[in-house]
Amino acid sequence: MKTNETYIVAIIPYIPQKVVEILKERGEKVEFKTKIQAYLEILEKEFNVVGKVFDSWYVNSKTLLPNTLGELKSNSRVAVVSSFR
């Protein structure tokens, strides 16, 4: 791999939630996942990732995990919970 080049590392099929509901009504076994959930699953299963960085549009309670960095929007609320005893 070279610097400043782009590589395809995974292709994740995405099915919108409305389509998943229609398929379930037909009796198909499908599971809805958001794009973020699918992305995190690929990172965890396929790659040895030390840290993750998210754009401000994708920072939320599901993406703010240990070893994660993301810029917050100006109207974001942050609650810090400490588990130290």
Examine the pLDDT at 76 and tell me if it is beyond 90: no
Question: Looking at the structure, do residues 4 and 40 belong to the same domain, yes or no?
Answer: yes
Whether the Cβ atoms of residue 73 and residue 48 lie closer than 8 Å to each other: no
**Structure confidence by residue, pLDDT tens digits, 13-40:** 788 889 999 999 999 998 888 888 887 8
- Is the domain of 29 the same as that of 56? no
The DSSP-derived string for 56-82 is GGG-STTT--TTEEEPPPTT-------
pLDDT at 32: 87
Shared-domain flag, residues 45 and 5 = yes
Q: Given CA atoms 33, 64, 52, 57 in this order, what sign does their dihedral have? A: positive
Q: What range defines the domain where residue 77 resides?
A: 50-85
The answer to whether residues 80 and 55 belong to one domain is yes
- What is the per-residue pLDDT for 80? 64
Question: 3-class SS at 11?
Answer: coil
Pair 35, 71 in one domain: no
* Structure confidence at residue 81 (pLDDT): 63
| pTM of the full structure | 0.53
Which whole number is the average pLDDT over 59-84? Answer: 71
Specify the number of domains making up the chain.
Answer: 2
- In this structure, the answer to whether residues 10 and 43 fall within a common structural domain is yes
Residues 60, 44, single domain; the answer is no
